[in-house]
Structure 1
């Protein structure tokens, strides 16, 4: 150690030992201050260019606006230190402790922070361009609006950190632990996110164009309004994600797990979806032009036990743009408060025994009528759901007879055996629960025996995904006014109407 450096160090230590803590603007360029204790010192605007401060104790020190360019701070203690506006470009901070430190607006261009402890640190607005942050701990850190373009965050642990609006263009986050992280409106273009854990993360409005998310875990993440154009999501886990209005143009979703994801409003033009797992994924409200998809996995567990193959892009597009089937019960009366309460209780009871009706109906009250509409992603539920949904009404018996007649008519049609078995099985499941459902509903309905609503004429209409309409029951007095009570017979839908209706099903082989 040169004499000049020794004098600098000695003078500094002497002042600190004597209780002096204010070293504002001090010039310590190129000095050797390794392992020195300057805890709680004030070093605002200090010049520490190329200074060796490795292993030093600078905890709770104020280094705002200080010049630490090319400084050596490896293994130093900077916990709760204030470095707002400081410059640490090309500085060596390997294994340094910056827990809860403040680096607002600081510049750390190409700095080395390998294995640093940065939990709860505040880097908002900081410049970390091309910084080396491999295996750092950023738990609950604040990097809102920070510039991390080209930064290396491989293996970083940043659970619950805030990267809102941050620039991570071209950053490498391979195998990083980022569960619960806020990346909303962040720029992640061309970023490498291979095998990253983003479980439950917020990426709403984020820009991930041409990013590599192959093998990434995004289970439960919010990806709404995000941009994935050209992104690689091959084999990624997107279960339970919110992809509403996301742009996935030309994205690679090969063998991606999308079970229970919501992508209504998403743009998938030119995307590749071969082998994607799409059980419980809404098959409507998306743009799927020019997609590449030879087959998808529709099994509940995503284990390949149920595969849907496609012969052409138009066939796969039609499958993904499925229109939900509807069961519509039109009641020739206005819904009053008493009937509304009874309906809510009745359908709640029904849902407990017949899961396909777990979603409550859309209720539209018109000038003289009330319409209950149930929506189903699978056409096979239409007949059994109508069989069960009509239970609260006096017309239930006749409606159910008609549905059974339609079922028998289907059995006599020239349909694939598997299709007949599937439709029959679904209806039999509803029939088997009938007596049990009636017993559970009896108390509810008895309490509302005087309510005109449930005794009013009804129409039960089924609308398939192919937009074919089948009226399975229409009370002869439906629409009649002035006490007209003629005894016309109920019409029974048979023959060609049933054939056309079944043929329009979006049936999965």
Structure 2
């Protein structure tokens, strides 16, 4: 069919031109919007600036065709072959390209927003500065493609192959990149903020200066990745593999990397303010210095020897254990949960509920802390629901007073400074700012519930797995051995104020000496 006949029939309302052969045809600027060109042969055709919006080009052959500036919005290009096709500045917004083939296609600055490219083959395609916002590229082959400066905001790249792809300075913010393959890809200075990269293979990937704020990298494979200067603030790195990763001067403030494997990684100069140091695998880690300042501005530099590194990155979570000499009944459980809810509203380190272990005779509450420096303050608040609270709190204050005593033979200057800070937080933050002691009446603990009147023990466990008994009521355990003439065997012996023998200063100093520097 001649071009003039095609255009005439189209002008007269005909739209079905399926399987037409227009190879090498000159169709620049033509309007074939809404036509049926499925299975058509348009190889080497010139369709630059043509209007092909809503056109059916499924299974069409467009090899080496020229479509620069063409309008293919909402077109059906499913299974079409567009190898080495020129689509520079073309509009393919909302188009269907399921399993289309675009090997080595020229797609510079092309518009693909909301397009469906599921399973498409874009191997070695040039997509520099292309717009692929909210596009579906799941299972697409983008290996060795050029996506420099491309916009893939909120795009779906689940299971896509991006091996060896250049995504430098591309924008993938809020994109879904789960289980994608990025081996040896270039993601330097890429924006991946808020992206879902869970389970993604990023081994040996260049992520220098990348923005990964709030990104989900849980279970991601980042072994050997270059993350120097990358921003991982608030990122989720749970169970991520960072073996031999380069994290020099990376921003990791508030990141969660619990269970992550950092073996052999280089963290020299990393910014680690408010980052948990527990549950990590750190064998062979390299770290000459760290930035612990809240703003990552190097105002709090911590230099580390190899021995310091071992102590700094530890694997034991600091805990507070409160052991109650009574089993927990259902009514007391409800009251206890309500009490800790009220306390958590005033004191955020106790926002995570305790684990509860109930035995035949006793109940154990275990509070996990973010760091050692919270132990004394949190214990001061955690004991509040119980009749033993006043004596336990007095002991905590006594402990800190002992540690603050001018005794250079026990504590070094840095350690004294740290304990002084902890003491100030205890007195200022808890007693004054939050008025912890004044909260007790508001907890509404019924006097008839004997669970809260039972003797208690409070034990602190630091990140070096050292324990420190804070309080142990002398009658703890004794009510179980009462004489048989007691009418109510469940009646507890009264909890009276008793003098508790404090440990030696050396025991206290050893407990705090291994606290992490803040």
Count of residues in correspondence between the two structures: 500
Distance 1:507 1:77, change over 3 A: closer
Deviations along 1:111-135, one digit per CA (max 9) or x if unpaired, are: 0111111111111111100101011
Could you report, residue by residue, the CA deviation over 1:117-157 in whole angstroms, capped at 9, with x for unpaired residues?
11111111111001010111111101110101111111111
Q: 2:90 maps to which residue?
A: 96
Deviation at 1:394, TM superposition (A): 1.0
Q: What is the CA RMSD across the aligned residues, in angstroms?
A: 1.9
Alignment of 1:305-320 (within 5 A): 305-312=299-306, 314-320=307-313
Residues 177 and 196 of structure 1 are in contact (CA less than 8 Å); yes or no, is this contact kept in structure 2? yes
- Tell me the secondary structure at the aligned position of residue 459 of structure 1: strand
Which residue does the alignment assign to 2:449? 451
| Residue of structure 2 equivalent to 1:125 | 119
Structure 1 CA distance, aligned partners of 2:73 and 2:35? 13
> What's 2:515 paired with?
506
- CA distance in 2 between counterparts of 1:140 and 1:374 reads 43
Whether the 8 Å CA contact 1:388–1:434 is kept in 2: the answer is: no
Q: Tell me the SS of whatever aligns to 1:174.
A: coil
Q: Superposition pairs for residues 126-205 of structure 1, below 5 Å?
A: 126-205=120-199
Gaps of 5+ in 1: 1-6
1:423 aligned residue: 419
Q: Any idea what SS the aligned residue of 1:347 has?
A: helix
Distance 2:333 2:203 in 1: 48
Match of 2:502 among 492, 496, 504: 492
User: Helix, strand or coil for the counterpart of 2:2?
Assistant: helix
Distance in 1 (CA, whole Å) between partners of 2:237 and 2:26 is: 54
> Once the 2 structures are TM-superposed, how far is the Cα of residue 408 of structure 1 from its aligned partner?
2.7
Indicate if the aligned counterparts of 2:342 and 2:443 stay in contact, CA closer than 8 A. no
Q: Deviations over 1:348-382 (max 9, x none)?
A: 33334333333332222222211111222332222
Match runs of 1:453-472 below 5 Å: 453-472=451-470
Give the match's secondary structure for 2:356: strand
| 1: CA distance, partners of 2:425 / 2:100 | 66
Aligned equivalent of 2:363, options 354, 370, 373: 370
* Partners of 2:373 and 2:515 within 8 A in 1: no
Greater shift in the superposed pair: 398-407 or 135-144: 398-407
Do 2:42 and 2:65's aligned partners in 1 also have CA atoms closer than 8 Å?
yes
Deviation string 1:282-308 (CA, Å, 9 cap, x unpaired) is: 212221111211011122222222222
Question: 1: CA distance between counterparts of 2:181 and 2:219?
Answer: 13
The equivalent of 1:74 in structure 2 is 68
In the other structure, the counterpart of 2:487 is none
Please give the alpha-carbon distance, in whole angstroms, between the structure 2 residues aligned to 1:208 and 1:497.
47
How far is 1:428 from its partner?
Answer: 3.5
Contact 1:84/1:102 (<8 A) preserved: yes
Query: Where do residues 50-449 of structure 1 align in structure 2 (5 Å cutoff)?
Result: 50-312=44-306, 314-412=307-405, 413=407, 414-432=410-428, 433-434=430-431, 436-445=435-444, 447-449=445-447
Change in CA separation of 1:424 and 1:345 when aligned onto 2, cut-off 3 Å: farther
Deviation at 1:169, TM superposition (A): 0.7
Q: Do the aligned partners of 1:338 and 1:448 also contact (CA within 8 Å) in 2?
A: no
CA contact (8 A) 2:314 2:464 kept: no
Instruction: Show the counterpart of 1:37.
Output: 31
